[in-house]
A and B are shown apart, each in its own frame.
Chain A
Amino acid sequence: MLIRCPWCGERDHAEYFYGGDATVKRPAENAGVQAWNDYVYLRDNPKGPHRELWQHQAGCREWLVVTRDTLTHDILGVEPVKGAAR
């Protein structure tokens, strides 16, 4: 896979670290144990486009939101995590 880092350009996925589902939000402090349990343990396993966190670890080390098709591995979009709709 090639991922186009907004800062460094198109790079092999080996330079990146996969950071999990970008759509999951850390709950508020008082959200309750169930919400926290879901946050830590429950993940969807979608077939198709999926918004994911990747860190350009061997590059600029920025965290990115990468939209990837889990079936085809097509990279459909890459955004800086800051400012990305999540």
Chain B
Amino acid sequence: MSGQTHRLASGGEIDRARPLGFSFDGRAYQGYAGDTLASALIANGVRLVGRSFKYHRPRGIYSIGPEEPNALVRLRQGGRAEPNTRATVAELYDGLAAESQHRWPSLGLDIGWVNDLLGPFIPSGFYYKTFMGPGRGAWMVYEKYIRKAAGLGTAAREPDPDRYEKRALWCDVLVVGGGPAGIAAALATAETGARVVLADERASFGGALRRERMTIGGLAGRDWAGNSIDALAARGNVTLLPRTTVFGYYDGNGLGAVERVQDHVPTPGEYLPRQRLWNIRARRVVLATGAIEQPLVFAGNDKPGVMLASAARGYVNQYAARPGTRAVIATGNDDAYRTAIDLALAGVEVVAVVDHRPAADGALPRAARARGIDVVTGHAVVGTIGMMDVAAVEIARIDPQGALADGAARQLACDLVCASGGWQPAVHLHSHTGAKPVFDDTINAFVPGPSRQAELSVGAARGAFALADCLADGLRAGAEAAKATGHGSGAVPPTPACEDGGVQAPARALWPVPRPPGVRGKAFVDIQDDVTDKDVALAHREGYVSVEHLKRYTTLGMGTDQGKISNLAGHAIMAGLRGQSMQQVGTTTFRPPYTPVAFAAFAGRELGRHYQPIRRTPTHAWHEANGATFIEAGLWVRPQVYMRGGEQMGDAIAREVRAVRGNLGICDVSTLGKIDVQGPDAAKFLDRVYCNTFSTLPAGRARYGLMLREDGIVMDDGTTSRLSEHRFFMTTTTANAGKVMTHLEYYLSVVWPELKVQVASVTEQWAGIAVAGPKSRELLQRAMTGVDLSNEALPFMGVRDGLLAGIPARVFRISFSGELAYEVNVPSDFGVAAWEALMAAGNPLDAVPYGLEAMGVMRIEKGHVVGSELDGRTTPGDLNMDRLVSKKKDFIGRQLMGRPGLVDPKRKRLVGLVPVDGRTRIRAGAQIVADPRAPAPVEMLGHVTSACPSASLNHPIALALVSGGLERKGQTLHAAFPLRNESVAVKVVDPVFVDPEGKRLHG
């Protein structure tokens, strides 16, 4: 352990009584409670924390917040590992393990640094031009090496063991950001009784007050913040969300936030999620998101030892960690003089403040001079000296117009360069709403434009940086937001007295810092993405005029920091090159998320079995208790097959099929969609909805119906019964139950509102049980009372009501298996009782339960179509159902079904297939071709839609859609399955393999 050589003896918010051990790249260090990983590394004198993305240049900690471009680490290990974590916002805990990224084989010795020497040969667009131009096959070859060398962190391969959850939250006023302005807004809002939420990304509220030496009401800023938060926490109408980043602002004043509930401990506590995603709906939003300090673009501005001026003093003030021993401050504004003063107070030698303005006479520069700090105005830091680290800066004279006064540069020895290019308000959330930020010449940055939603930016987030303005802004916005939601009078509480160092003189932008001859080194605009001022100039020369194109060409602002500390400089340089104003050049569109959000947080608990709801039929428990295996069909879980001891699945399916065809089987058909259609115009409505006629159907009878879309393609099918003059009972396929319901509601509401019809989904109200096989009537006669089940009283397609073991039941004489069969419907709650009654009555008849697989085999044997054939491309004609289509009435689909393409005789139509050799399996999905040996391209005649071994015929069978359909009956074709290098010679046959005359149905 090298020790906390850069820790100050006193001060800061760290708890020196609570040391915490941690490791970085396998080396052990110690920090204190209250540290971030970054502040602890600084306290330990660690300067090199990462390699850059493209050139693999050595990089150090650059910032103190979520804008950090360099200190991206892989945090934790195993399934908890998280790449691209910003060390500047990662709270330290005992045992924290972090690894640097973008380096190979080690941080100190990185092979990729050679890219830096090749730098002139890797300008913007290099990869595209070199590897993706003519003969772009090269990209395929090189991509994996380039990506490995680039290194964007590696995700964990193991499943994440932690829980993530989601919650919804509603409030009158959401205050985003818990700095002085945000706290003031929350205080003013809370007083009115309005429901207020205050969220801040940090563990403790206070924002800049924790990093700056400022006072409010005579208290140190951090104490005022602490007291205010205590007061807010004591109120019932306030929800405080620390460690919570509001990352997105969406339509309807909906905001997304992620709370890092247990990211600050090694493993989450019992019953606690690691992170929580908040879906917040607020009537008003106060954006107190602060501002982000911008870098200066000079040669070598990326080396370890160069950091943002506010970050340097923040580490000293909040963490008592000294980022260097000899500092030079580079600035064009008064604010950075705080850094000079605070560093001096902490015992850091301040070599000079180098200010590119001709003069600096504001309160802060005067205070710095009063401390004996050397202030060099009319100069700029133009370069840095040192390979792995900063050893000195080069400074040069700048004239009042911002140009080089002369070419001479001189050196100042230092190991810390604190740069400030001014402050850019964090307008991200404002921008997410679609609002357009506007450029403010007085602060040289973009400020919020007119609001598009019920939001207001306050304090630094709108460019009002003075502490008094932040407080006044927050109080006013809070009171107004509360009033807008019907709380309070709108009276603004008085602003407390405060002290922040005095009025500041105007800042001056200098993009980029001019480069004297002889000063070497890249000047980075986007440090994270390794985009230099030359890259921006190249983009300009190559004709990129829009900042959006600039971004995509150079990758400016495309890193995990999303341009937080690079967009302003990049766009300013672009504006300078084009001779335009910043307002004309504009800024790129900010999009959610503000900072990266883990996929796990978005997934929440919707993982594995919780991904979607599970639907079980009313008789599920019986199937489970009686050896069924289950299969998922959409959301439904259905019995697949009931295997007996030692039985193979295929044998069990065949046994169930033979039981039904030869004797008696019982099957759960509850999943079918069921719709109650009632009203005086119900018959008229069904005539329009189905392509066949229902108005002629007598009560007590059922009919197969085929439903088309307006384009003439089959949408769904099912059996619909007429229960009485004005009441029908429609069934749909399991998969399309919801879709058909919506379809019916649409036509009744939107297209034919004059029809007197009501529809209601009753799918879940009825348990459905199919009873099939030669003995099915005998079984029902034993089990049911109050209904005549004779062939005369209940013929094929008849419907009657009766009692099943005393349960009111409706019996439909319909058949999917092709056998004599019935479907019995009972109210869902009686499903198990009805099933058990049927099984009990069926036992002496050797009834067996059968599952979805046997049902599937029997429907293929009968040539009945399901979703595989009703694939959204087939017409009634394609399914050999032309005769069903009424020519006497109008119906949905009629007008377009006659289009030439839909009646082409070469269309693919339904046929049956059997293997020529009588035994080879035909695969569903196989392509039908005339000659499997013909060279490509081969004409595809069709494809196999369904296939199975026929238990009734003892050989494989299949249904297929084949060009010309049954005109090819008797032909030998080939079912090719190139993925498995298979081809089966098949004969085209009638698609009804069993009982083609349909005699069994009518027995």
Residues of A near any B CB (own CB < 8 A): 1-2, 12-13, 17, 19, 26-27, 29, 31, 33, 36-37, 39-40, 53, 55, 57, 61-63, 72-73, 81-82
Q: Which residue of A lies closest to B709 (CB)?
A: A40
Q: Which of B745, B746, B890 is in CB contact (< 8 Å) with A29?
A: B890
8 smallest A-B Cβ distances: which pairs? A2-B252, A63-B749, A36-B895, A1-B251, A73-B251, A29-B890, A40-B710, A1-B252
Q: At the interface, yes or no: B110 with Cβ under 8 Å from chain A? A: no
Mask, B682-712, CB within 8 Å of A = 1, is 0000000000000000000000000000110
Q: Which of A12, A13, A37, A55 contacts B896 (CB 8 A)?
A: A37
Pairwise interchain contact B252-A12, C-beta atoms closer than 8 A: yes
Which residue of chain B lies nearest to A80 when distances are taken between CB atoms in the complex? B749
How far apart sit A12 and B280, CA to CA, in the bound complex (Å)?
Answer: 12
Docked pose: A63 CA to B895 CA in angstroms: 25
Residues on the B chain within 8 Å of A36, using CB: 710, 895-896
- Pairwise interchain contact A39-B710, C-beta atoms closer than 8 A: yes
Which partner residue on chain B sits nearest A71 by CB separation?
A: B434
Contact between chains at B742 and A29 (CB < 8 Å)? no
Known: A33-B896, A63-B746. Contact between A72 and B252, CB under 8 A? no
Q: Is the CB of B895 within 8 A of A57?
A: no
List of A residues within 8 angstroms of B750 by Cβ: 19, 53, 63, 81
Which listed residue, B253, B452, B746, touches A55 by the CB 8 Å rule? B746
User: Is there an interface contact between A81 and B710, defined as CB atoms closer than 8 Å?
Assistant: no
Q: List 15 contacting pairs A-B, 8 Å CB cutoff, sorted by A.
A: A1-B251, A2-B253, A12-B252, A13-B252, A19-B746, A19-B750, A26-B751, A31-B895, A33-B899, A36-B710, A39-B710, A53-B746, A72-B434, A72-B452, A82-B749
* Minimum Cβ distance to chain A for residue B43 (Å): 47
CA distance A70 to B899 in the complex (A): 34
Closest to A82 in B: B753
Q: Please indicate the chain A residues that have their CB under 8 angstroms from the CB of B898 in the complex.
A: 33
| Chain A residue with Cβ nearest B749 | A63
Please give the distance in Å from B419's CB to the nearest CB on chain A: 39
Set of chain B residues within 8 Å of A81, measured between Cβ atoms: 749-750, 753
| Cβ-defined partner of B742 (8 Å) among A12, A57, A72 | A57
- List chain A residues, Cβ under 8 A from B896: 33, 36-37, 40
Residues of B within 8 A of A1 (CB): 251-252
Contact indicator per residue, chain B 281-300, by CB within 8 Å of chain A (1) or not (0): 10000000000000000000
Residues of B within 8 A of A29 (CB): 890, 895
A14 to B28, CA, bound (A): 50
Interface bits B250-262 vs A (CB < 8 Å: 1, else 0) = 0111100000000
Least CB separation from A73: chain B residue: B251
Within 8 A of A (CB), among B883-911: 890, 895-896, 898-899
The chain A residue with its CB closest to the CB of B753 is A82
Nearest CB in chain B to that of A39: its residue:
B710
**A-contact bits for B736-769, CB 8 A (1 contact / 0 none):** 0000001001100111010000000000000000
Chain B's nearest CB lies how many Å from the CB of A36? 4
Contact B745 A55 (CB under 8 A): yes
Chain B residues within an 8 Å CB radius of A31: 895
CB distance from A29 to the nearest CB of B (A): 5
Q: Which residues in A have their C-beta under 8 angstroms from that of B745?
A: 55, 61, 63
Report the Cα distance A40→B899, complex, angstroms: 13
- Write out the residue numbers on chain B whose beta carbons fall within 8 Å of the beta carbon of A40: 710-711, 896
Contact A33 B749 (CB under 8 A): no
Residue of B nearest to A27 (CB): B895
Which residue in chain A gives the minimum CB-CB distance to B752? A26
Closest Cβ of chain A to B707, distance in Å, is 16
B742 to chain A minimum Cβ distance, whole angstroms, is: 7
- The complex places the Cα of A2 from the Cα of B899 at a distance, in Å, of 41
- In angstroms, how far is the closest chain B Cβ from the Cβ of A32? 9
Contacts of B895 in A (CB 8 A): 27, 29, 31, 33, 36
A1 CB to closest chain B CB, in angstroms? 4
The winner among B253, B434, B750, B898 for most chain A CB atoms within 10 A is B750
Q: How far is the CA of A33 from the CA of B899 in the complex (A)?
A: 8
For the complex, give the distance between the alpha carbons of A37 and B452 in Å: 39
Q: Would you list which residues of chain B between 743 and 797 have a CB under 8 Å from chain A?
A: 745-746, 749-751, 753
Which B-chain residue is minimally distant from A83 (CB atoms)?
A: B753
A5 to chain B, nearest CB (A): 14
Complex Cα distance A40/B746, Å? 15
Q: Is the CB of A55 within 8 A of B742?
A: yes
Smallest beta-carbon distance A15→chain B, Å: 12
Whole-angstrom distance between the Cβ of B711 and the nearest chain A Cβ: 5
Bound state CA distance, A26 and B895, in angstroms?
A: 11
What is the distance, in angstroms, from A7's C-beta to the closest C-beta of chain B? 13
**Chain A contacts for B710, CB-based, 8 A:** 36, 39-40
A12-B28 Cα distance, complex, nearest whole Å? 50
Chain A residues, Cβ within 8 Å of B753 = 81-82
Nearest chain-B residue to A37 (Cβ)? B896
For A12, the chain B residues whose CB sits under 8 A away are 252, 254, 281
- Once bound together, how far apart are the Cα atoms of A57 and B890, in whole Å? 28
B:243-286 near A, CB below 8 Å = 251-254, 281
Q: Is A17 in contact with B742, judged by CB distance below 8 angstroms?
A: yes
The complex places the Cα of A13 from the Cα of B281 at a distance, in Å, of 13
CB-CB nearest in chain A for B747? A26
CA distance A12 to B434 in the complex (A): 19
Q: Which residue among A27, A31, A39, A61 has the maximum number of chain B CB atoms within 10 Å of its CB? A: A61
Compute how far the CA of A72 lies from the CA of B890 in the bound complex, rounded to whole angstroms. 41
Q: Please, what's the 1-or-0 string for B401-441, where 1 marks a CB less than 8 Å from any CB in chain A?
A: 00000000000000000000000000000000010000000
- State how many angstroms separate the Cβ of B436 from the closest Cβ of chain A: 12
Give complex CA distance A61, B281 in Å: 24
Q: How far is the CB of B430 from chain A (nearest CB, A)?
A: 15
